[in-house]
Structure 1
Amino acid sequence: MLATFFQETAEEITQNAENLEPVVEEKTLSLFELLTSGGIAGNIIIIVLGVLLILAMYIYFERLFAIKAASKTDVNFMHQIKDNVATGNIEAAKIRCAQENSPVARLTAKGISRIGSPLEDINTAIENAGRLEVYKLEKNVSILATIAGAAPMIGFLGTVIGMIIAFHQLATSSGQAEMGSLAQGIYIAMTTTVAGLIVGIIAYMGYNHLVVKTDKVVHQMEATAVDFLDLLNEPA
């Protein structure tokens, strides 16, 4: 009986001890909570960076589709132009250029319209038309480059603001600031820096990709211009 009593008492003590143990709740922080937990100053900077990210993505995809459309040209286009020019059928060559909606076709049409002029004048006309086509291809791409440089700087501005808030809390509390007040300033410093770098990296990569795509179209136009001038230089 005595052994049974001590056993039951020990079980009761164990159960009471387990009940007295503090329950540790695991706290998770979502991405949205992380971005919006930096106070008013942090939220304003995050909103600005969000707008820049949306603008950068819009410019990137809009230019990407435009450049892809500009790079599509019929492989038989120049052969048909050469045949028409060689046979003296200039009107047919102009009509074929009008049917092909691409920078290469517009450059060729500009050269065809100058047939009969000195070769140097034709070359100058093609070069001027080429500059206009490159300008169209690079439309708004400079904004993407600006976002790539400005976004990290805006993020670092949030870092400075966050550290100022943290040190201000320390200064006004005689070195005994609450951890919550300090944490808010540190949140602003960290989240805005990360957000600024993410936006900047995305914009930078998009800008470089568009530059590469544009260069390919420019080289295609240069090759076409050389072919067309060679066609005019061929002996009759």
Structure 2
Amino acid sequence: MSLLQSNLPVDTLNQAQQQAIELATQHENLNLLQLLMKGGWIMIPILLLFFLGLVIFIERYITIRNASKADGGLMAQIKSNVLSGKLDSAIAVCRSSNSALARMLQKGLTRVGRPIKDIEAAIENAGKLEVSRLEKNINILGIIAGIAPMLGFVGTIFGVIQIFRDVEIAGGIDIGSVSGGLYVKMIASASGLTIGILAYIGYHILNMMVERLILKMETEAVEFIDLLDEPGV
């Protein structure tokens, strides 16, 4: 009986220690959102930039991919109709395709009968218009890539200023509070750099997609002009 009574305080102490360890673990194992919010008010514009960049990238990616879809047999159908003198049928083929390349070639078909230079100018202008539509808002990703890291650094600097102000008010340096506060403020810099890198990658991915489409459109435009130069057209 006396042995059981002597073990009670030890069991109680072990239970208290276990609870303390669990509380400390819960405090350290913050979820991502809680960790980001510890970066301070500057995290709000940084997160807004992230969502803006994400929306722009997804929307532009889908648009450019749809515009880049191969029009199976488009050029062959146009060539067949043009050589047969069926310009209306060739224009109808372009309208049914409704892609960037088809709209550009349609503009050239409506100019058939005029000098080749006029047709080339019409195709070139239509191509520039299509490219400008595809590049819409892509530059915003480049802006985000530059602004997000700077916002992160600004948040960290303000945080460090606040830490040293608290040290001055306290009249002494507490290494624990300084290091803990500094790690929290570095969250802003890490978030800004991460979002900036992602925006930079997205910006160049979209630009490469547009450049590939431009090359394809230029190739088809040259083939179309060569078609018009054939005898009997």
> Under TM normalisation by the shorter chain, which class is it?
0.7 to 0.9
Structure 1 residue ranges (4+ consecutive) displaced by more than 6 angstroms after TM superposition? 11-15
Decide which moves more: 86-95 or 21-30. Answer: 21-30
Asked whether the equivalents of residues 152 and 193 of structure 1 are also in contact (C-alpha less than 8 Å), the reply is yes
Rounded to whole Å, the distance in 2 between the matches of 1:185 and 1:176 is 12
Q: Secondary structure at the match of 1:59?
A: helix
* Residues 1:93 and 2:90 aligned together: yes
Aligned to 1:77: 74
Instruction: Supply the distance in 2 between the matched residues of 1:88 and 1:33 (Cα, whole angstroms).
Output: 69
| Equivalent residues in 2 for 1:1-236, closer than 5 Å | 20=13, 23=17, 24-25=20-21, 26=25, 27=27, 28-38=29-39, 42=40, 44-176=41-173, 179-180=176-177, 182=178, 185-236=181-232
Q: TM-score, normalised by structure 2?
A: 0.86
C-alpha contact (below 8 Å) 2:38/2:185 kept by paired residues: no
1:154, 1:37 → 2: CA distance? 15
Q: String of CA shifts for 1:103-141, please: whole Å, max 9, x gaps.
A: 111110111111122212211111111111100001111
Q: Aligned residues: percent identity?
A: 40
Letter of the 1:52 counterpart: L
How many residues align? The count is: 224
Q: Which runs of 5+ in 2 are unaligned?
A: none
Look at both structures and tell me which one has the larger radius of gyration over its CA atoms. 1
Once residues 132 and 83 of structure 1 are traced to their aligned partners in structure 2, the CA distance between those partners, rounded to angstroms, is 27
Shift of 1:48: 1.0
Structure 1 vs Structure 2 CA RMSD: 2.3
Cα pair distance change 1:16/1:188, threshold 3 Å: closer
Q: What letter corresponds to residue 227 of structure 2 in structure 1?
A: L
